[in-house]
Amino acid sequence: MGRPVLLAVDDDAPVLAAVERDLRDRYAEHYQVLTAPSGDQALDLLRRLRLREEPVALLLVDQRMPGMTGVELLSASRRLYPDARRVLLTAYADTDAAIRAINDAGVEHYLLKPWDPPEDRLYPVLDDLLETWRRPAPVANLRLIGDRWSAEAHELRQFLARNLVPYRWMDVEADGQARELLEFAGAGAGELPVVVLDDGEVLTTPDLHQLAARIGLHVRAERDAYDLVIAGAGPAGLAAAVYGASEGLATLLLECNAPGGQAGTTSRIENYLGFPVGLSGADLTLRAREQATRFGAEMLVPAEAVGLLRADPYSVLRLADGGEVSASALVIASGVTYRTLSVPGAAELSGRGVYYGAGRAEAADHAGGRVFVVGGGNSAGQAAVFLSAFAAEVTLLVRGPDLTSTMSRYLSDRIEASDRITVAPRTEVAGAVGTQRLEALRLRSGTEEREVPADAVFAFIGQAPRTGWLDGAVRRDARGFVLTGADLGASPPDWPLPVPPLPLETSVPRVFAAGDVRSGSVKRIATAVGEGAMAVSFAHERLAGR
């Protein structure tokens, strides 16, 4: 496999020459710079590159070309290179085309011509896009063998995918090689799932902690005590880790499953400041994780806090593996979980057609199928749009009369414009039907019930805080969310300091809460990031004795 390709396309010869010159000046050492004078020739070149299995990292395409516009070319290129970064070159008059490209062609950015000087207006954009593009991994030697409809296999697949661990999924029902490999591994059908590691070691029905340790994830703390411990690696926790580590605090970040939290499973975030064309939750998580690690933050995955003890002035966290870690300051950023469907059949089919979150593995498993999304908020809307790129039919089930009061306008507009998404108002799930996997849903509209065929259902129906581990440690509201600052009252009971709690500080000094887990928080990624950064500032204040 050769160097990744950067492909520039423009029918204006002087402009194409200028693009080629600027790309070669900056990127020729690590990338092949290729050009094409038209959309048709560019597509032909992409087909030949695909046949040769050459990686394409980025397409930089002019909008106004005869025969095939830039948007049309970028849309067509998605079938050949779905993971390539896409940039549209536009004039001021083509702003509408650029917006359409964002919505319809998977464009990551658009650039206005002319872009001089490239050091200011071209390279920073392309550097950022290329940094987040990843060369296709070679065929992974880590193999996961299991039944597609196994909840245990689904959990392992989700864990590996969300932690960006390359692996090869082998369905024992559909893949003869999987059955042959099981024989070599000395495992039987009743011992699934099985993981075959790079070195040939076989793990039979491993739990997440065992798997993480064997594939090289960091699962045990290097120290007994830290300046700052953060429980939860969603946007709030990652922001706290970045700011804490960058300011010199010995920082430990604990995550029970995978960095990113619920935001990490979001297919496309389009209202985050500074990213006008949006970005995926996985992309945002990758950037934040690398940033925190670069500043020296230590991250354990999976590492779940199961209890909190006080040894003034320190907090001691008990971990699920039996270990303990001490913190001079603690940030609770453990977030929330989606509530489960409390209807007959749903629990038994969890991970086998009933899902809470929509990742690429689940979407690919149900390509061409009939899927349902439950919920009327932004998470449900984003999932519906994402799944519509795979499923033949997506039905969004909402309890209200429409989406106007619960979903952002940009999302509801996209759902309305989609020919694959249908909104079913005043409809809820009354039951899940199936034996080995989900086969149908019972839907209720008013007093009427009906049964409809279903391949999968993805539920986004409210949130419950991950705060059970805080029982008896910090004060919470009636729903379990952590109380902070002024919400604790003017004179919190048993508050030991002569000054009141700081904003984001809990009923225990030096213990802060940030993000969705905090009572009264705004459930948005941007506010969670802001609170994570603020919590570190307040922690500094307390650690300084103020």
pTM for the model: 0.83
Is residue 240 exposed (0-12), middle (13-18) or buried (19+ Cβ within 10 Å)? buried
The answer on pLDDT for 140 being more than 70 is no
- Of 420, 437, 461, the residue at which a domain comes to its end is 461
Q: Which residue has the higher pLDDT, 327 or 522?
A: 327
Tokens of 422: 């249908």
Tell me, yes or no, whether 477 lies in a domain: yes
pLDDT digits 0-9 by tens, 22-67? 999 999 999 999 999 999 999 999 999 999 989 999 999 998 899 9
- pLDDT score at 331: 98
Tokens of 450: 């009906």
**Mean pLDDT, to the nearest integer, of 479-494?**
91
Rg from Cα positions in the chain: 25
pLDDT digits 0-9 by tens, 332-366? 999 998 899 999 999 999 999 999 988 888 888 89
- Of 164, 184, 214, the residue at which a domain comes to its end is 214
Say yes or no: 16 and 127 in one domain. yes
Residues 6 or more apart whose CB falls under 8 angstroms from that of 55 comprise: 1, 2, 4, 5, 135, 136
- Residue 70 near residue 44 (C-beta atoms within 8 A): no
Say yes or no: 398 and 371 in one domain. yes
Q: How many CB atoms lie within 10 A of CB 492?
A: 18
Say yes or no: 158 and 254 in one domain. no
pLDDT digits 0-9 by tens, 490-528? 778 889 999 999 999 999 999 999 999 999 998 889 999
CA atoms within 13 A on the CB side of 515: 33
pLDDT digits 0-9 by tens, 373-407? 999 998 899 999 999 989 999 999 999 999 988 89
Q: Which amino acid is at 405?
A: S
Q: CA separation (Å) from 393 to 371, 451, 455?
A: 6, 17, 10
Tell me, yes or no, whether 349 lies in a domain: no
Q: What percent of the chain has pLDDT over 90?
A: 68
pLDDT digits 0-9 by tens, 470-480? 999 999 999 99
Separation CA 416–CA 426 (nearest Å):
17
- Of 99, 132, 165, the residue at which a domain comes to its end is 132
Q: Which residue has the higher pLDDT, 235 or 94?
A: 235
- pLDDT score at 108: 79
The H or E element containing residue 70 is: helix 70-80
Any idea which residue has 């706290």 for tokens?
A: 240
Say yes or no: 14 and 114 in one domain. yes
The answer on pLDDT for 150 being more than 80 is yes
CATH code for the domain in which residue 292 is found: 3.50.50.60
Residues 6 or more apart whose CB falls under 8 angstroms from that of 309 comprise: 315, 316, 317, 318, 473
Separation CA 27–CA 133 (nearest Å):
14
- pLDDT score at 193: 94
Tell me, yes or no, whether 407 lies in a domain: yes
The answer on pLDDT for 104 being more than 70 is no
Say yes or no: 40 and 76 in one domain. yes
* Structural domain of 509: 225-337+464-543
Say yes or no: 475 and 432 in one domain. no
- pLDDT score at 351: 92
Say yes or no: 233 and 250 in one domain. yes
Separation CA 74–CA 490 (nearest Å):
58
The answer on pLDDT for 309 being more than 90 is yes
Tell me, yes or no, whether 138 lies in a domain: no
Confidence of residue 92 (pLDDT cuts 50, 70, 90): low
The 3-state secondary structure of 56-68, one letter per residue: EEEEEEECCCCCC
Q: Which residue has the higher pLDDT, 391 or 139?
A: 391
- pLDDT score at 503: 95
**Mean pLDDT, to the nearest integer, of 446-468?**
94
- pLDDT score at 93: 61
- Residue 129 near residue 87 (C-beta atoms within 8 A): yes
Indicate the DSSP class of residue 515.
G
The answer on pLDDT for 139 being more than 60 is no
Nearest by Cα to 224 from 328, 330, 325: 325
Q: CA separation (Å) from 258 to 100, 232, 363, 367, 441?
A: 33, 9, 19, 25, 30
SS3 406: coil
Say yes or no: 446 and 468 in one domain. no
Tell me, yes or no, whether 359 lies in a domain: yes
Tell me, yes or no, whether 38 lies in a domain: yes
**Mean pLDDT, to the nearest integer, of 423-434?**
97
- pLDDT score at 186: 78
- pLDDT score at 314: 95
- pLDDT score at 138: 55
Backbone torsion region of residue 505, taken as left when φ is above 0, otherwise alpha when ψ lies between -120 and 50, otherwise beta: beta
The 3-state secondary structure of 7-54, one letter per residue: EEECCCHHHHHHHHHHHHHHHCCCCEEEEECCHHHHHHHHHHHHHCCC
SS3 511: strand
Among 70-79, 88-97, 466-475, 529-538, where is mean pLDDT lowest?
Answer: 88-97
Say yes or no: 111 and 18 in one domain. yes
Say yes or no: 446 and 474 in one domain. no
The answer on pLDDT for 1 being more than 60 is no
Q: CA separation (Å) from 528 to 137, 260, 414?
A: 32, 12, 25
Separation CA 44–CA 47 (nearest Å):
5
Q: How many CB atoms lie within 10 A of CB 501?
A: 24
Say yes or no: 526 and 538 in one domain. yes
Separation CA 44–CA 53 (nearest Å):
14
Backbone torsion region of residue 474, taken as left when φ is above 0, otherwise alpha when ψ lies between -120 and 50, otherwise beta: beta
pLDDT mean across residues, the chain? 91
Separation CA 340–CA 62 (nearest Å):
47
User: In the chain, how many domains are there?
Assistant: 4
pLDDT digits 0-9 by tens, 216-270? 899 999 999 999 999 999 999 999 999 999 999 999 999 999 899 888 877 778 7
Say yes or no: 468 and 457 in one domain. no
Tell me, yes or no, whether 44 lies in a domain: yes
pLDDT digits 0-9 by tens, 262-303? 888 777 787 788 877 777 888 888 889 999 999 999 999 999
The 3-state secondary structure of 262-297, one letter per residue: HHHHCCCECCCCCCCCCECHHHHHHHHHHHHHHCCC
